[in-house]
Structure 1
């Protein structure tokens, strides 16, 4: 059995580095793929791994948006000379199926953190003339693509003279990077100020292990970016939000040159734009603190980005007035008042809802804002029926970040557990504005000190002149 395992190079896009491992692990679990790590993944844009079947490689690449491409690795070395020596000693039975006279080929040269001219690339290709390639060259649509990669580290403004690592192998599959451009917010019909970046939306859908036929919910749906990603991977999507104006596209446009919303802007229009309308169930105006789903209704996954109270308000239906009663004649035209829906309560409700309405084995994937200096895993939201399986950071500023959390439901909850949350969550919104005010005060004090110092220097210079 061990003889069937082959070594592969997974080559990643050098962005959202923290999210790679969580995405790949989720996809391995989703497709029940067995993958061996030959080296522990680090910050480099590549992993060296083994698969028992090339079908597994294609399956993984068909869903990953972090992965650029995958090579069957034939040679790897610290120097170019050593690479060629190793490549010449590769058993013929490995290369022979791809070097037949009827198979066309091409060789690509890629560098990381260093630019090669076309002539330099051709010179590199010529060094592989000893390979027993018998078929014709085809640069547009070859049967076999061979890749040579030189890795110069990750510091682009000061690369070394010689590469740290060199690789050579057969291209097997490319990741789903082209989908990021296809779903770009620049060309999307309906967007808002907080519409999720397509790459992050797709990463969330992958971490939720969305598959064909799943029913997916976003309880803070906004303009539906997460629904688009989930629908693309085969999910039937539902969304809810308390913001009536947003769901009906009556808010101020987010695009700079757009003065008013078009009449046909909607989440449904987005789904239609990407030929996903058949995956769209509905979006509903709903206060998440008062869910209206049947107790026995269950979702395969919940994917969401709850509001933090910074760019979008954290609100729920309510009033500060005591014993408030609406007269019956006013009910048809009554617009309910809203009160603050604190972050602690939002995540308490979200996890309790997920424990109740997720299928066992289903995932809830959500963003959670933190102050970086205060962060500790014990301060994350938790629930006894949900297991934290992934926790990745996206840095927002010097002081703040948000973490993408993935929880998997491990068992049904008891009634007591539906109301349980085991951590004290910091009120991000309150601390955020307190920190901003402190920063402003520090800036004003610094400016005042500089003005005072400059004034004293000016007086000293005047005295010297006199």
Structure 2
């Protein structure tokens, strides 16, 4: 339910214009991570690049901004209106006790005028700043590192080709903090030492770590670790990271190079090299060659978070150790034997992932994973289910015109005694790979 604006407790969260479907879930997860309570000042809309939220204090907002990679900046909201005259009227009505700390002669400030959906020229911006003289700020204007920075934001909608003459909404507020979007640039795949064909986009990997509520000291597992992109993100937020994967060559940096024109991998390419590259080696525990279908862990309730992108059978095979033949390995060949593999269906992978999490996650720990789906098969009422795990949310990312993948977040709510309670995954997951390639082939023939 929307609430009334409260000076000092109402905030404008301005988003970068990407990963729109992930915004609310990231905010929910970060708030849960810090045990922060909030309420909507205005009901959220994914068509808007902002959220209006009431928090208990700016300290709570600072905590959110210390983790978010989707929010660009947060502002203490002083006024909001549909017209400039009404906005000024509301600003003039603010209690003097509220504005006085910012109008002292020894407090420096600056005022910025920005817009979304329409470009504003310099003269227009100067005019708007001049009109704000009624604020009576007596301190010096300081364009770089002032004591306080204020923003007048004009919102013209999301279609720049049909922007209206006047803005739909106007906001005025005091800058509180910027988000952590620069982290994704720091861990950019272009400059990363070790990558693979399916290395996770850095921004998405950071979002996953936020969804999993990874904190300093959290023990984090990626059971389909690949080149370890998710471990980098988890380690950035303080997680202590494990990884497992059945691909021996990938984990030892011997797989075919993924970069264009690279003939062979460098001898020091590894997940540990990535951790060292970003100064995160102290957060690295180990990676192990392992078949996920045959858990190697002896201690239950071990992990605080499990974050992973299971193979879909599209760009990488879905395999597990096994054989369809009945034979015995001679003793003299046992030590050098390389186990054969059989197909490992997507449905079985996700069922095993949920069953594994119900046993090896700590109580209240989170599982965050990707699940692909053929668009016509998706039913939000029939998502993967486990009686020991509670669904916290899901976010959609389009893959093609016919397929998408969903980032699913679940939380362990009770112990799985004797491992007797099992997961249920919709049968549609079993046919995803077949339908994907059939649709792809049909599109190529058109």
Aligned partners of 1:35 and 1:145: how far apart in 2?
24
Aligned match of 1:262: 266
- Secondary structure of the structure 1 residue equivalent to 2:123: helix
Aligned match of 2:359: 356
Matched, 1:13 2:26: no
Aligned partners of 1:352 and 1:270: how far apart in 2?
30
CA RMSD of aligned residues (A): 1.6
Aligned match of 1:384: 387
Task: Tell which deviates more after alignment, 29-38 or 255-264.
Answer: 255-264
Aligned residue-pair number: 440
Aligned partners of 1:68 and 1:252: how far apart in 2?
37
Matched, 1:196 2:182: no
Q: How far apart are 1:258 and its partner, in Å?
A: 2.3
Structure 1 residue runs without a partner (length 5+): 444-466
- Secondary structure of the structure 2 residue equivalent to 1:97: helix
- Secondary structure of the structure 2 residue equivalent to 1:150: strand
1:311-333 Cα distance to aligned partner (Å, 9 max, x none): 01101111121x22111111222
- Secondary structure of the structure 2 residue equivalent to 1:49: strand
Alignment of 1:427-442 (within 5 A): 427=430, 428-441=432-445
Task: Tell which deviates more after alignment, 115-124 or 149-158.
Answer: 115-124
Matched, 1:220 2:224: yes
Matched, 1:317 2:321: yes
Task: Tell which deviates more after alignment, 125-134 or 138-147.
Answer: 125-134
Choose which of 314, 331, 336 in structure 2 pairs with 1:333.
336
Aligned partners of 2:288 and 2:419: how far apart in 1?
29
Aligned partners of 2:27 and 2:407: how far apart in 1?
15
Q: How far apart are 1:342 and its partner, in Å?
A: 0.4
Q: How far apart are 1:348 and its partner, in Å?
A: 0.8
- Secondary structure of the structure 2 residue equivalent to 1:439: helix
Aligned match of 1:176: 180
Task: Tell which deviates more after alignment, 356-365 or 116-125.
Answer: 116-125
1:74-126 Cα distance to aligned partner (Å, 9 max, x none): 11111112211221221111111112111111111111111123333223222
- Secondary structure of the structure 2 residue equivalent to 1:192: coil
- Secondary structure of the structure 2 residue equivalent to 1:157: helix
Alignment of 1:222-261 (within 5 A): 222-261=226-265
Matched, 1:90 2:84: no
Q: How far apart are 1:375 and its partner, in Å?
A: 0.8
Provide runs of 4+ in structure 1 moved above 6 Å. 2-5
Aligned match of 1:122: 126
Aligned partners of 1:214 and 1:334: how far apart in 2?
36
Task: Tell which deviates more after alignment, 182-191 or 360-369.
Answer: 182-191
Q: How far apart are 1:392 and its partner, in Å?
A: 0.6
Aligned match of 2:398: 395
Matched, 1:36 2:39: yes
Aligned match of 1:462: none
Contact 2:301 2:363 in 1 (8 A): no
Structure 2 residue runs without a partner (length 5+): none
Aligned partners of 1:257 and 1:114: how far apart in 2?
42
**TM-score, length-normalised on structure 2?**
0.95
Aligned partners of 2:425 and 2:293: how far apart in 1?
19
Aligned match of 2:369: 366
Task: Tell which deviates more after alignment, 68-77 or 303-312.
Answer: 68-77
Matched, 1:293 2:297: yes
